[in-house]
């Protein structure tokens, strides 16, 4: 299969296709987890802590219990022993909730009120009085009482060291030494963090939007001491995840316990502000970058040290130095990351978790260095471009970074840029152009699927895949139709249910690579079965032929010279009903039992930065124009151009939307988003989407996306690099660089706000 990686003539892969679930979504037919019909559900409402550190001395529940319709109030005193503590996004211990009287962070679940109606549960929750023994919390960096922990290389993160970066920096003719900061951010997907739990004897069904169906299933089974076969998770659609629905959270097990106690299904729809603390977020980061260079622009030294906030018990971190060390040719590299423990909830995955906060300082520093050297920022990247991984010398599976820069620069009109900061104006508006490198590691995991094909030419593929808004159903239909020679409409896709064969969680942009490669493998098994039967048949046009030479196309088995046997004939030879295969795909470099582990809810991943054979990343270049009013300094970004090269693109229509959404989020990340923390009490203050800003339509103007063609035969059989996250990565630095170009002011802390430029 490797020799026809990705697209092939006449196939569906690479052709734009509207979403097969689009009509269902826009007509309200698509069933999100909280929409699943349940019989006579009771409603849960969460009581969350109003302090960030301390203990619960007691609770006054009488007034709450007196509210008509209240059925139960779960708290540490009555259910604390009923669940095992959950694990964090990294699979290691994290903050607890009702297991004890300990309060680890602001907004921690401290009680669950269950009532006949949502309204009664909410009213009662407002009447719960919690008596705290408060301790002084530590909010964030520089708060008294935080504890820093230097990280060591583990299975998912490394801290590359090469040569002697300190000495090379000291001796470098040109130096750049700067510190940068990125803020706390929350995903705020439109769909809230709902959970509905239904018991049927020993069997528990959980309807919950998730990016990890089997991960959630295994986590809840462990917490409640249930056999895996007795837990089913259902999430046919998720209303946005962005990483926030990637890891299991505490709430699920408690809703299951509540449903067991009240002997009814229990449904939880938490509030927007509760989503800020009962789920995860992107932690604030700090960075120290040192770049040493020759006057020619060639890098001599790169040092990148990062600090990230986490909770007290969890060392969850993103450690984007794994990426930044691999961007540019450089003989001397030093990286280091520390987690800083504070009295906060545990952070987690958020779109391009390591790369968004860590590429920001590197790409700003490159822009600063270019300015210092008097070299065009694009040319500085070209001078330091490389086709081998600067850390260990492995080849990139493919790297089209400069093609992306050149395509985007041409479309953007970079040549019109006067390099002098503050030199471009339009009336009262200062105009700035900025650019930055974008990248994302190309990850792939083991996956399983079931595929059937009928003589009538109808295929059905089933897998516990995740549609979080990315177009995952359509992706499957396109690949199966392409490989079986059918129309996309002939493929039925069933996903979103843990009763189906497991796939990895939808994260790290692995979904397309993992699920399409297993689907293609399943198609190949069916083709092989049909071909083998055809050549072994006593009669028929392919009797005695080489089965490898038979392909599926246009509803037929097609041989050399274009000889065709209709699909009906070929399939009927094996079955008059349907032929079905169950297939497991374990990508190169993973343990042979990686697929078996999926059935235990354990996921392994071949990570693009850590492969033995090649280093696999998708690359891109992002350009943006900003305008800053010369008096009032509001910052607007009226146009942007992004070019990406990410191997095979299965559905350009969906990919365009993904890239564009990422780029918009990058602008948001640079100019709008920040969770504000009251440092005195370690509490989130703007925990609503009126005050937590994201761009509105009026903030986003022209938004061009360029697909730079790239064929990658090494990354995986279909040549697919994930594209879910790369769109956001370079944009925050591009905006900051454009602000510098517009104003001459270098702002190294995000988001950039009016007051930074007054």
Partner 1 sequence: MRPFRYEHATDRAQALQLATTPTAAAAAAHVAAPVQYLAGGTTLIDLMKIDVMRPEVLVDINALAGQHGEIRADDAGLRLGALVRMADAAAHPAVLRDYPAIAQSLQLAASPQLRNMASLGGNVLQRTRCNYFRDVTYAACNKRSPGSGCAAMEGVNRRLAVLGVSDRCIANYPGDFANALAALGAAVDVEGPKGRRVMAFEDLHRLPGETPHVETNLAPGELITGFSVPAGPWTRRSLYLKIRDRQSYEFALASAAVALDLDGGVVREARVGLGGLSAKPWRSHEAEAALRGKPLTEASAQAAAEAAFAKAVVHGETRFKPELGRRTLVRALLQCAAMEI
Distance of closest approach, residue 431 Cβ to partner 1, in angstroms:
17
Length of the chain: 758
Binding partner 1 by CB under 8 A: which of 546, 691, 702, 711?
691
| CB-neighbour burial class of residue 226 (10 A; exposed 0-12, middle 13-18, buried 19+) | middle
Binding partner 1 by CB under 8 A: which of 152, 416, 612, 631?
631
How many residues bind to partner 1 according to rule CB under 8 A?
32
141 token code pair: 């960096």
Q: Residue 332 and residue 301: Cα distance in Å, rounded? A: 5
Binding partner 1 by CB under 8 A: which of 69, 163, 457, 695?
695
178 token code pair: 């700067």
Report yes or no: 441 and 616 within 8 Å, Cβ to Cβ: yes
Radius of gyration for the alpha carbons in the chain, expressed in angstroms and rounded: 27
Report yes or no: 22 and 471 within 8 Å, Cβ to Cβ: no
Report yes or no: 344 and 311 within 8 Å, Cβ to Cβ: yes
Q: Please give the span between the terminal C-alpha atoms of the chain, in angstroms, as a whole number.
A: 59
Closest by alpha carbon to 107, among 668, 751, 674, 688?
688
Regarding 50 and contact with partner 1 (CB under 8 A), the answer is yes
- Choose one: 15-23, 72-80, 175-183, 668-676; the region binding partner 1 (CB under 8 A): 668-676
Q: What would the x/- binding string for partner 1 be over residues 716 to 755, using CB under 8 A?
A: -------------------------------------xxx
- Choose one: 97-105, 360-368, 627-635, 643-651; the region binding partner 1 (CB under 8 A): 627-635
Regarding 676 and contact with partner 1 (CB under 8 A), the answer is yes
Is the previous residue joined to 751 through a cis bond, with omega within 30 degrees of 0? yes
Distance of closest approach, residue 220 Cβ to partner 1, in angstroms:
29
Distance of closest approach, residue 132 Cβ to partner 1, in angstroms:
11
Binding partner 1 by CB under 8 A: which of 192, 699, 713, 746?
699
Regarding 693 and contact with partner 1 (CB under 8 A), the answer is yes
Distance of closest approach, residue 119 Cβ to partner 1, in angstroms:
7
Q: Residue 626 and residue 624: Cα distance in Å, rounded? A: 6
What SS3 class is residue 1? coil
Q: What would the x/- binding string for partner 1 be over residues 410 to 449, using CB under 8 A?
A: ------------------x---------------------
Regarding 123 and contact with partner 1 (CB under 8 A), the answer is yes
Task: Kindly tell me which of 568 and 685 has the beta carbon lying closer to partner 1.
Answer: 685
- Choose one: 12-20, 224-232, 406-414, 680-688; the region binding partner 1 (CB under 8 A): 680-688
**Strands, DSSP E only, in 586-661?**
617-629, 635-645
> Helix 731-743 vs helix 652-671: angle between axes, to the nearest 10 degrees?
50
Q: Residue 497 and residue 212: Cα distance in Å, rounded? A: 10
246 token code pair: 């990637």
- Choose one: 160-168, 282-290, 429-437, 676-684; the region binding partner 1 (CB under 8 A): 676-684
Specify whether 368 is catalytic: no
What SS3 class is residue 473? helix
- Choose one: 346-354, 591-599, 697-705, 741-749; the region binding partner 1 (CB under 8 A): 697-705
Helix (H) or strand (E) holding 38: none
Q: CA 724, 725, 728, 733: dihedral to nearest 10 degrees?
A: -150
Q: Choosing from 82, 565, 710, 725, which is the catalytic residue?
A: 725
Binding partner 1 by CB under 8 A: which of 489, 632, 702, 711?
632
Q: Residue 164 and residue 58: Cα distance in Å, rounded? A: 57
Closest by alpha carbon to 465, among 479, 451, 454, 476?
476
Distance of closest approach, residue 267 Cβ to partner 1, in angstroms:
18
Binding partner 1 by CB under 8 A: which of 87, 126, 429, 589?
126
Binding partner 1 by CB under 8 A: which of 402, 686, 704, 745?
686
Distance of closest approach, residue 408 Cβ to partner 1, in angstroms:
24
Q: Which residues contact 558 (CB under 8 A, 6 or more apart)?
A: 485, 550, 551, 552, 564
Distance of closest approach, residue 130 Cβ to partner 1, in angstroms:
10
Q: Interface residues with partner 1 (CB under 8 A)?
A: 50, 119, 122-123, 126, 428, 629, 631-634, 636, 671-672, 676-678, 680, 685-686, 690-691, 693, 695-699, 753-755, 758
Annotated active-site positions, please?
A: 725
């Amino acid at each position: 299969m490797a020799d026809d990686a990705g697209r092939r003539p006449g196939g569906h892969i690479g052709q734009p296709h509207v979403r097969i679930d689009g009509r269902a979504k826009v007509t309200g037919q698509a069933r999100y987890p909280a929409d699943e019909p349940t019989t006579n559900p009771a409603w849960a409402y969460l009581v969350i802590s109003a302090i960030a550190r301390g203990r619960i001395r007691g609770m006054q529940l009488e007034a709450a219990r007196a509210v008509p319709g209240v059925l139960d109030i779960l708290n540490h005193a009555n259910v604390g022993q009923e669940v095992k503590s959950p694990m964090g996004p990294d699979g290691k211990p994290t903050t607890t909730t009702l297991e004890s009287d300990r309060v680890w962070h602001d907004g921690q679940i401290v009680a669950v009120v269950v009532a006949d109606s949502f309204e009664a549960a909410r009213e009662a929750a407002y009447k719960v009085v919690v008596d705290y023994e408060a301790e002084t919390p530590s909010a964030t960096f520089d708060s008294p009482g935080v504890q820093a922990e230097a990280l060591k290389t583990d299975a998912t993160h490394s801290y590359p060291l090469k040569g002697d970066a300190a000495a090379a920096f000291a001796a470098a003719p040109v130096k750049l030494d700067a510190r940068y900061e990125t803020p706390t951010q929350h995903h705020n997907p439109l769909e809230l963090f709902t959970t509905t739990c239904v018991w049927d004897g020993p069997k528990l069904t959980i309807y919950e939007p998730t990016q990890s169906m089997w991960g959630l299933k295994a986590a809840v089974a462990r917490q409640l001491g249930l056999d895996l076969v007795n837990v089913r998770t259902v999430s046919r659609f998720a209303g946005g995840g962005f990483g926030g629905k990637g890891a299991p959270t505490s709430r699920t097990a408690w809703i299951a316990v509540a449903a067991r106690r009240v002997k009814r299904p229990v449904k939880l729809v938490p509030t927007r502000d509760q989503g800020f603390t009962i789920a995860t977020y992107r932690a604030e980061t700090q960075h120290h970058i040192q770049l040493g260079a020759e006057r020619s622009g060639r890098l001599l030294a790169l040092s990148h040290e990062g600090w990230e906030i986490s909770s007290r018990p969890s060392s969850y971190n993103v450690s984007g130095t794994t990426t930044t060390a691999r961007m540019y040719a450089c003989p001397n590299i030093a990286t280091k990351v520390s987690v800083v423990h504070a009295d906060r909830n545990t952070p987690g995955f958020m779109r391009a978790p390591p790369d968004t906060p860590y590429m920001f300082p590197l790409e700003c520093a490159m822009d600063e260095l270019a300015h210092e050297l008097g070299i065009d920022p694009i040319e500085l990247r070209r001078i330091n471009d490389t086709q081998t991984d600067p850390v260990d010398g492995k080849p990139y599976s493919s790297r089209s970074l400069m093609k992306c820069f050149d395509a985007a620069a041409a479309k953007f009109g970079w040549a019109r840029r006067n390099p002098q900061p503050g030199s471009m104006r339009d009336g009262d508006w200062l105009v700035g152009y900025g650019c930055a490198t974008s990248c994302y590691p190309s990850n792939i995991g083991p996956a399983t699927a079931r595929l059937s094909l009928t003589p009538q030419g109808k295929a059905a593929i089933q897998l516990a895949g995740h549609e979080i808004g990315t177009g995952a159903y359509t992706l499957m239909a396109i690949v199966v139709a392409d490989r079986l020679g059918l129309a996309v409409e002939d493929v039925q896709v069933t996903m979103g249910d843990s009763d189906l064969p497991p796939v990895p969680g939808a994260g790290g942009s692995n979904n397309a690579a993992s699920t399409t490669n297993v689907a293609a493998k399943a198609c190949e098994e069916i083709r092989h079965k049909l071909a083998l039967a055809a050549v072994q048949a006593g009669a028929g046009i392919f009797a005695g032929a080489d089965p490898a030479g038979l392909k599926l196309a246009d509803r037929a088995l097609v041989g050399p010279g274009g000889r065709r046997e209709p699909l009906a004939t070929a399939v009927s030879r094996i079955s008059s009903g349907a032929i079905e295969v169950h297939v497991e795909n374990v990508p190169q470099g993973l343990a042979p039992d990686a697929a078996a582990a999926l059935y235990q809810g354990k996921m392994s991943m071949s990570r693009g930065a850590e492969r033995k054979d090649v280093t696999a990343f998708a690359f891109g270049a992002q350009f943006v124009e900003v305008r800053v009013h010369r008096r009032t300094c509001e910052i607007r970004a009226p146009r942007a151009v992004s070019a990406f090269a990410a191997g095979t693109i299965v559905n350009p229509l969906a990919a365009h939307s993904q890239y564009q959404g990422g780029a918009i989020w990058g602008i948001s990340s640079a100019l709008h988003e920040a969770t504000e923390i009251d440092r005195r009490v370690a509490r989130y203050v703007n925990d609503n989407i009126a005050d937590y800003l994201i761009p509105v339509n009026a903030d986003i103007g022209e938004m061009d996306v360029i697909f730079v063609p790239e064929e990658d035969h090494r990354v995986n059989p279909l040549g697919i690099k994930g594209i879910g996250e790369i769109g956001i990565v370079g944009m925050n630095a591009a905006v900051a660089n454009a602000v510098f170009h517009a104003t001459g002011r270098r702002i190294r802390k995000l988001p950039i706000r009016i007051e930074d430029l007054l």
